[in-house]
């Protein structure tokens, strides 16, 4: 009997074949294959749909893999109570709750883990990125022995897994996060950043559809109609020219994830750069960029839906 992994629409868990096979990102799936079977999709934040899948396939489902906050999708936060509902459902149907906290974990959202916002303990936690403190690549999978010891000696290996230098850096990184109270710092400064971004939205309501985030994990979503023919990538390039690095996603979303050691003054400087780009650079970009510039299709090859439609239906 083939085991099934359930994952969310709009998820991003990496670029290796298994997780590409569960991706809703056409850029990750087109041109690759054959994709692996055994994946079932569910809408992120919909615990009712999740239970329906658990009821239909529960005897075959090995785990539910999800991001507590979807990063690549544009810093999408779930409805309040969703994480607790997932925990209850996974316990009820004896399915592993696997939280991918590679982007959201280790103080990024204002808590040590994003799951801590609802005081939820997953069965498996995946960590990376911040675990290396910006010094060395390292990642980790955390679980209790009842899960870990299902893999016996010789059944799994990794070329660089558990090397002493990376492990020492990871331990030091965790010490710094705790000793310097970076989770609390992220929560406090994150409120400042969101306030600044909301002020910018008030100034440019026709351009900015939504500002969202938690801690120093934030995103600005633009209206594709009023932004056209400019993309989020163009906005990020102009921000770079003014001294601030940001990451575009899905043509209309700019993610702002400053380092946890950022100062209030630096946050204000970064916000000013975004404001200046919208006020000074954007009008010229819209005049000079060819109007027939191709845009990336957002219709998912897997489910056929427009996952990242940022147009304002009310305009």
Catalytic residues: 12, 100, 129
Count of residues in the chain: 315
Provide the terminal-to-terminal Cα distance of the chain, rounded to the nearest Å.
51
For residue 143, with 0-12 CB atoms within 10 Å meaning exposed, 13-18 middle and 19 or more buried, which class applies? middle
Paired residues of 256 in beta bridges: 218
Q: Distance (Å, rounded) from C-alpha 71 to C-alpha 110?
A: 15
Tokens 């400087």, located at residue? 269
Per DSSP bridges, beta strands 218-222 and 253-256 are antiparallel
Task: For tokens 């906050």, name the residue.
Answer: 69
Question: Which residues is 40 bridged to in the sheet?
Answer: 6
Torsion of CA 190, 196, 197, 201, to 10 degrees: 150
Question: Minimal CA–CA distance to 232: which of 216, 214, 256?
Answer: 256
Cβ-contact 79, 43 below 8 angstroms: no
Q: ω into residue 229 within 30 of 0, thus cis?
A: yes
Q: What tokens appear for 211 in the block? A: 């500002």
């Amino acid at each position: 009997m083939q085991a099934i992994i359930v994952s969310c629409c709009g998820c991003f868990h990496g670029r290796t074949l298994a997780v590409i096979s569960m991706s809703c990102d056409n850029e990750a799936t087109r041109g690759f294959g054959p994709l692996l079977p055994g994946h079932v999709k569910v809408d992120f934040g919909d615990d009712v749909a999740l239970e329906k899948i658990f009821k239909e396939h529960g005897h075959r489902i090995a785990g539910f893999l999800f991001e507590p906050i979807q990063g690549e999708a544009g810093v999408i936060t779930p409805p309040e109570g969703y994480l607790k509902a997932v925990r209850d459902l996974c316990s009820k149907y004896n399915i592993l709750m696997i939280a991918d906290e590679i982007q959201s974990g280790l103080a990024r959202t204002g808590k040590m883990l994003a799951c801590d916002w609802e005081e939820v303990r997953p069965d498996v936690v995946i960590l990376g990125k911040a675990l290396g403190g910006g010094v060395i690549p390292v990642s980790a999978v955390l679980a209790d022995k009842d899960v870990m010891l299902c893999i016996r000696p010789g059944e799994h290996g990794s070329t660089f897994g558990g090397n002493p230098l990376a492990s020492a850096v990871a331990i030091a990184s965790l010490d710094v996060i705790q000793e310097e109270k970076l989770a609390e710092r992220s929560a406090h400064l994150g409120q400042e950043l969101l306030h600044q971004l909301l002020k910018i939205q008030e100034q440019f309501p026709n351009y900015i559809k939504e500002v969202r985030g938690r801690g120093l994990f934030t995103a600005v979503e633009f209206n594709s109609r009023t932004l056209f023919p400019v993309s989020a990538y163009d906005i990020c390039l102009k921000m770079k020219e003014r001294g601030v690095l940001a990451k575009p996603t899905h043509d209309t979303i700019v993610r702002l994830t400053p380092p946890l050691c950022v100062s209030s003054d630096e946050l204000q400087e970064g916000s000013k750069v975004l404001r200046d780009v919208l006020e000074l650079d954007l009008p010229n970009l819209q005049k000079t960029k060819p109007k027939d510039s191709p845009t990336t299709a957002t219709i998912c090859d897997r489910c056929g839906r427009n996952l990242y439609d940022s147009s304002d239906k009310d305009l």
